[in-house]
Structure 1
Amino acid sequence: MAEGCPFHQPGHADDQVTMKSPTGCPVSPEAAAFDPFGASYQLDPAEALRWSREQEPVFFSPKLGYWVVSRFDDVKAVFRDNITFSPSIALEKLTPAPPEATKILESYGFAMRRTMVNEDEPDHMERRRLLMDAFLPENLEQHEAWVRELVRDYMDLFIDKGRADLVGEMFREIPMTVALRFLGVPHEDAKELRKFSVAHTLNTWGRPSPEQQLQIAEDVGRFWKTAQDILDRMYAEPTGEGWMYDSIRMHKVHPAIVPESYLRSMMMAILVAAHETTAFATTNAFRTLLSNRESWNDICENPALIPSAIEECLRVAGSVVAWRRIATDDTIVGGEKIPKGGKLLIVQASANRDQSHFENPDDFDIYRHNAAEHLTFGYGAHQCMGKNIARMEMRVILDEFVRRLPHVHLVEDQTFEYLPNTSFRGATSLWVEWEPAQNPERRTRSVLENPTHFHIGAPIKDDILRRVVVTEVEREAEAVIRIDLVDPHGRDLPDWSPGSHVELVSGEWRRYYSICGTRGDRSRLSFAILREPEGRGGSVHFHDTVKPGDVLHIAGPKNHFHLDETATRYTLIAGGIGITPILAMADRLKALGKPYTLHYCGAGRRTMAFLDRVERDHGAALTVHAGDEGCRLDLPRVLGGLSEGEQVYSCGPERMLEALETLAVNWPEGTLHVEHFTARSSILDPANEHAFEAVLADSDLTVQVGNDQTLLEALTAAGVDVPSDCCEGLCGTCEVAVVEGHIDHRDLVLSRTERDANDRMMACCSRAKDKRLVLSL
């Protein structure tokens, strides 16, 4: 049986296999049937590849002649390694041109060569470093006010009509206008360029017929010639403002790094990239939000949610569906052998719906804490330079709509059509309606005052808050209360998994609490709070002030304490209020029929929350260790005879967790899983720290980390998106891989063995022991 043939499993009969991949491995029936130009992929590429994510994450498509990559980790790994996986074919025509079309392009002098999208190292990063200043967050701030005025001007044209095709009347126009201004192209030249930009998409990533190719070649040729004529005028007088003028001036200083041929190719490529992708992304976002009316209403009520809503739209309905790479050597992706010269279609749209990375991936949730980890912008050295321009445009457009047309809705029964291609997706029209008499500005022009100012870059996590109402506050034990929360509109709350927590927010107070309710009951979320008079004040605040009917906010649910459901046996150990995540795990294991034992420790039964329910539901597996009864937990005895494949989960006081970690030193890696209550002091003392540099291997950048800032802060300031949550070294969200250098670990996430491996760290708190770290970023 061939290694790396995932369909060679029970249920895949050999007589079903009729083709072979370039490695000689038989092609499964599903892979043989896959057609990126078929109706299912064109309608919803992520859904069309669900079977692949679940069964065959990397497969060879005979119809396409490419290896298709569908899971998050594999897609990210290909993006990360731009040496093994060259981007040189990213702009290669998917459908070869007939000789007649080639002659047409030649007649226009078409000479599209290397751009930032399809060039290899070291040329790519040498150029990128010279030309990226204009894309940095601090340099994009100056464009926001102008973008808003532009959006208002376009809206003024149809605000009183009551009906509009947003694509034709706005969404295709604004990104092109912004792109031209950013480049420095005079406004009078914009009209000609607008006509032909769509032809490049079909020419490169589509499957036009031979007859269609001739007209497309004409349009592409005219697009090229128009762009070159504009560039010639700019080149002759390079004193203007804009990215193309900057690039021309850089060419004159560094002609070997920024040659003229590069300027000519980029003049066309960046217009397509900035225009098509942003126009499609905006169209997809509005269709998604208006199809999820409750989410639309939420951002109308709270525009601060717009950045997170945009990221979730980019995750579930991004405009960039897939990119292409070619293997420069024999390699392995997702366990599948890829030969040298093998072409890969890496499908970000599928990766963005991978349940191994996004919980409840098919749900549209504008409160999703890790939506910004989507791969729509790519990753690593070739991540989209214009991502923050696109974010800014989409946020401003959406902010203006929720102010001026909150009552807008989709026209019913309209047909959505898409340009047939493998890699970019967006409807060619989007019809909406509204009642002009209800326009807020007819009552008061104040709706145009004090617009929302958005931070440039990824969303600020503290803004992603869901409004909830307290329905019940009950005492569960001495100094322990249970709080139940519901949605204020009676909607379902998100599903959650054992080990999940929420961040509860009340004014200035933000604290993390594990969910301990009944999983499957999406009408409410329940958690327990231990009053800690000697703590930082949060628990006392919630104990003393929260009452039924109060409106609070939560972030989450999130899970950094996942239960591995594949183990053979489990030992669960809870100390005090640590019963909350452990109880949810016990409930799940019982439902699965998995063997487990549960040890619940406390000072006395009166202090042990949910004890009645634990005894009722888990009595057969339970041992209660009440200190005032002289029944203390003997960890070495209880854990002295772990069976093969058994896993241990524990949450409780630091002393107990430290004892467990000491016992686990000789256990197989991955046996012990713990969750801490609190972090060590996370206050940075510059007097006792030293500065260091972080070299980002995937992006070929170097970031300086001062003695007064964390690595996470330095990366964020440099425009590098690194997910984060607690910022206290508790959750593991901000983990980054370390290639070289010695780490000063300060987190409570990694085990001793993991720290000794010296290959990953938490960016929010850990630092370099010396002066330099090399990271896989």
Structure 2
Amino acid sequence: MILENNAASTGKCPFHGAGSEFKPFDQTYWEDPYPFWENARQNEPVFYHPELNYWVVTRYADIKKILAEPASFSSKILKEAMRPLSQQAIQILREGEVNPNNTVTNDDPEHKKIRRPINYAFVPKRVNEMESKVRALVSEYIDRFIYKEKVDLVSEMFFEFPAEVLFEFLGFPKKYLSEIKQFSEQRLLLRFGNLPAEEQVKEAHGVVDFWRLSKKMVKEVADAEVTPDNFLGDLLRYRNGDDTILSLEDISGILYGLLFAGHETTTNLAGNAIRTLLTERHEWDEICANTNLIPNAIEEVMRYNPPVFYWRRRALKSVNIGGVEIPEGGNLLLVMASSGHDEAKFEEPEKFDIHRKNTKDHLGFGFGKHFCIGAPLARLEVRVILEEFAKRLPNLQLVEDEIKPIVSNLFARGPKELWVKW
């Protein structure tokens, strides 16, 4: 399983087996995980991690092939928690009937049934209509903190801003905003964290509340006299009262998925973008001088420091990946962040370069049938943030000793706090 590599000739640290060296919940690993994955790609690009019971895949070509073949690699594994849940937590989720049906956690034909109405509602026109609203909202947030000496951008803006945009896009009452953000964090920890049993119980109750709130919000809109002109209204029009086409439970599942993925990842993308650009100061100065560089800069952040660090699939048949035999039913942990640093795909991958020609080839938004449907909205939000910051806060700089990474988990990576001054 291990590919031979001459450490002396490469100048790399000796590598003693990724399966034993990978410590996914170790805070020191999370502070700078990329050197580990560089070693793994060169020495053991596919390895088994016995504690997680996952085969870990690190190279761009292997990950892209897995994402491109949904008939061979199932997405249903995403319905499961990354770490085994306690019986009490499982019982809470079962009694709460938490079984959302969405595109991320399904294979065809269920995936096709749910994806079709989302494509119907998530059209470019809907996204483009959001730009003026997003820009006004960014300006409001800047107005709130611009007179302060320094701020934590995560708590001051990035934590709630993407959810507020999503609520506007979906057509949800903003009175539920703070609840959704709280429930999303509980869902992240339960599904992708490493919680002790007593904390699992607490977070499981939060997930049940999240699911019930999603259903409540859908019912409120469905029962309204006038169907609104927004994403949720489009789903209801597509359904046209026919449960065989799309049930209210299906719509609740769609919203349950979007209310998590649609803002949690954008919070991390915004934080990663600002942190990376301010660390690479010359790149920040360039986009301040020429905001036309911002779209490609966002793609480079998605390659270099993506918000979704890991993704998962399950092999539906025995298969050879990177020279390693994966058995039928084998769990696969795809290191999406490693794919963006693959030397075989990207020249000088450890260099952050907003002029990179092929940066759009990154897999940060996925690939194939399960490509992230919210990518246009995420790109829009972060583009407007960077445009407005470049215009109003060109002297923005990091408060270096006050940057904290997100809680260790097997899904996302982004700063939990991001202190800046100007």
Report the AA paired with residue 320 of structure 1: V
Cα separation, 2, equivalents of 1:375 and 1:254: 36
Identify if the C-alpha distance between structure 1 residues 395 and 9 changes in structure 2 by more than 3 Å, giving closer, same or farther: closer
Q: Secondary structure at the match of 1:35?
A: coil
Q: How does 1:344-743 map to 2 (within 5 A)?
A: 344-434=332-422
Report the AA paired with residue 169 of structure 1: E
Highest CA radius of gyration, 1 or 2? 1
Moved over 6 A (4+): 8-11
Match 1:51 to one of 39, 44, 57: 39
Q: Which residue of 2 aligns with 1:267?
A: 255
Deviations 1:490-522 (A, max 9, x none): xxxxxxxxxxxxxxxxxxxxxxxxxxxxxxxxx
Deviations 1:284-304 (A, max 9, x none): 110001111111111111111
Identify if the C-alpha distance between structure 1 residues 235 and 423 changes in structure 2 by more than 3 Å, giving closer, same or farther: same
Report the AA paired with residue 65 of structure 2: A
Cα separation, 1, equivalents of 2:223 and 2:327: 47
Q: Which residue of 2 aligns with 1:92?
A: 80
Q: Secondary structure at the match of 1:432?
A: strand
* Conservation of the 8 A alpha-carbon contact between 1:179 and 1:275: yes
Q: TM-score, normalised by structure 2?
A: 0.93
Q: Which residue of 2 aligns with 1:188?
A: 175
Structure 1 residue 6 corresponds to structure 2 residue 2: yes
Q: Secondary structure at the match of 1:198?
A: helix
* Conservation of the 8 A alpha-carbon contact between 1:320 and 1:425: yes
Report the AA paired with residue 182 of structure 2: K
CA RMSD across the alignment: 1.9
Report the AA paired with residue 46 of structure 1: Y
Q: Secondary structure at the match of 1:300?
A: helix
Q: Which residue of 1 aligns with 2:215?
A: 228
Q: Which has the higher contact order (CA 8 A, sep 6+)?
A: 2
Cα separation, 1, equivalents of 2:173 and 2:5: 61
Report the AA paired with residue 422 of structure 1: L
Higher mean alpha-carbon deviation, 396-405 vs 407-416, is at: 407-416
Report the AA paired with residue 401 of structure 1: F
Structure 1 unmatched ranges of 5 or more: 12-27, 435-777
* Conservation of the 8 A alpha-carbon contact between 1:7 and 1:56: yes
Match 1:329 to one of 317, 320, 324: 317
Identify if the C-alpha distance between structure 1 residues 426 and 91 changes in structure 2 by more than 3 Å, giving closer, same or farther: farther
Q: Secondary structure at the match of 1:207?
A: coil
Q: Which residue of 2 aligns with 1:289?
A: 277
Q: Which residue of 2 aligns with 1:239?
A: 227
* Conservation of the 8 A alpha-carbon contact between 1:35 and 1:64: no
Q: Which residue of 2 aligns with 1:63?
A: 51
Report the AA paired with residue 143 of structure 2: D
Cα separation, 2, equivalents of 1:366 and 1:163: 27
Deviation of 1:125 after TM superposition, in Å, equals 2.3
Match 1:163 to one of 126, 129, 150: 150
Cα separation, 2, equivalents of 1:112 and 1:41: 33
Identify if the C-alpha distance between structure 1 residues 96 and 193 changes in structure 2 by more than 3 Å, giving closer, same or farther: same
* Conservation of the 8 A alpha-carbon contact between 1:45 and 1:349: no
Deviation of 1:429 after TM superposition, in Å, equals 1.0
Cα separation, 1, equivalents of 2:290 and 2:360: 19
Deviations 1:422-449 (A, max 9, x none): 1111111111112xxxxxxxxxxxxxxx
Cα separation, 1, equivalents of 2:102 and 2:113: 12
Structure 1 residue 174 corresponds to structure 2 residue 161: yes
Q: Which residue of 2 aligns with 1:208?
A: 195
* Conservation of the 8 A alpha-carbon contact between 2:74 and 2:314: yes
Cα separation, 1, equivalents of 2:244 and 2:313: 26
Identify if the C-alpha distance between structure 1 residues 10 and 188 changes in structure 2 by more than 3 Å, giving closer, same or farther: closer
**Percent identity over paired residues:** 38
Deviation of 1:309 after TM superposition, in Å, equals 0.9
Identify if the C-alpha distance between structure 1 residues 145 and 393 changes in structure 2 by more than 3 Å, giving closer, same or farther: same
Q: How does 1:755-770 map to 2 (within 5 A)?
A: none
Structure 1 residue 280 corresponds to structure 2 residue 268: yes
* Conservation of the 8 A alpha-carbon contact between 1:45 and 1:321: no
* Conservation of the 8 A alpha-carbon contact between 1:45 and 1:350: no
Deviation of 1:96 after TM superposition, in Å, equals 2.1
Deviations 1:456-477 (A, max 9, x none): xxxxxxxxxxxxxxxxxxxxxx
Cα separation, 1, equivalents of 2:6 and 2:357: 38
Cα separation, 1, equivalents of 2:271 and 2:170: 23
Deviations 1:235-257 (A, max 9, x none): 22261132222223323355334
Structure 2 unmatched ranges of 5 or more: 8-15
Q: Secondary structure at the match of 1:311?
A: helix
Match 2:204 to one of 189, 204, 217: 217
Deviation of 1:213 after TM superposition, in Å, equals 1.1
Report the AA paired with residue 194 of structure 1: K
* Conservation of the 8 A alpha-carbon contact between 1:308 and 1:371: yes
Q: Secondary structure at the match of 1:414?
A: strand
Deviation of 1:177 after TM superposition, in Å, equals 0.5
Deviations 1:183-214 (A, max 9, x none): 11022232322222111111111111112212
Give the structure with the larger helix fraction: 2
Cα separation, 2, equivalents of 1:83 and 1:207: 30
Identify if the C-alpha distance between structure 1 residues 242 and 264 changes in structure 2 by more than 3 Å, giving closer, same or farther: same
Report the AA paired with residue 128 of structure 2: E
Identify if the C-alpha distance between structure 1 residues 141 and 8 changes in structure 2 by more than 3 Å, giving closer, same or farther: closer
Equivalent residues, number = 413
* Conservation of the 8 A alpha-carbon contact between 2:4 and 2:43: no
Deviation of 1:220 after TM superposition, in Å, equals 1.8
Cα separation, 2, equivalents of 1:309 and 1:45: 22
Q: Which residue of 2 aligns with 1:146?
A: 133
Structure 1 residue 338 corresponds to structure 2 residue 326: yes
Higher mean alpha-carbon deviation, 270-279 vs 245-254, is at: 245-254
Higher mean alpha-carbon deviation, 199-208 vs 349-358, is at: 199-208
Cα separation, 1, equivalents of 2:200 and 2:231: 32
Cα separation, 2, equivalents of 1:135 and 1:265: 16
Cα separation, 1, equivalents of 2:334 and 2:409: 14
Q: TM-score, normalised by structure 1?
A: 0.51
Match 2:239 to one of 251, 254, 267: 251
Q: Which residue of 2 aligns with 1:78?
A: 66
Deviation of 1:273 after TM superposition, in Å, equals 0.5
Deviation of 1:95 after TM superposition, in Å, equals 1.8
Q: Which residue of 1 aligns with 2:13?
A: none
Deviation of 1:98 after TM superposition, in Å, equals 1.5
Q: Secondary structure at the match of 2:23?
A: coil
Cα separation, 1, equivalents of 2:88 and 2:71: 35
Cα separation, 1, equivalents of 2:29 and 2:318: 29
Deviation of 1:106 after TM superposition, in Å, equals 4.6
Cα separation, 2, equivalents of 1:265 and 1:93: 17
* Conservation of the 8 A alpha-carbon contact between 1:40 and 1:48: no
Q: Secondary structure at the match of 1:325?
A: strand
Cα separation, 2, equivalents of 1:41 and 1:257: 46
Deviation of 1:222 after TM superposition, in Å, equals 2.3
Identify if the C-alpha distance between structure 1 residues 305 and 32 changes in structure 2 by more than 3 Å, giving closer, same or farther: same
Deviations 1:301-323 (A, max 9, x none): 11111111111111111101111
* Conservation of the 8 A alpha-carbon contact between 2:2 and 2:17: no
* Conservation of the 8 A alpha-carbon contact between 2:403 and 2:419: no
* Conservation of the 8 A alpha-carbon contact between 1:135 and 1:388: no
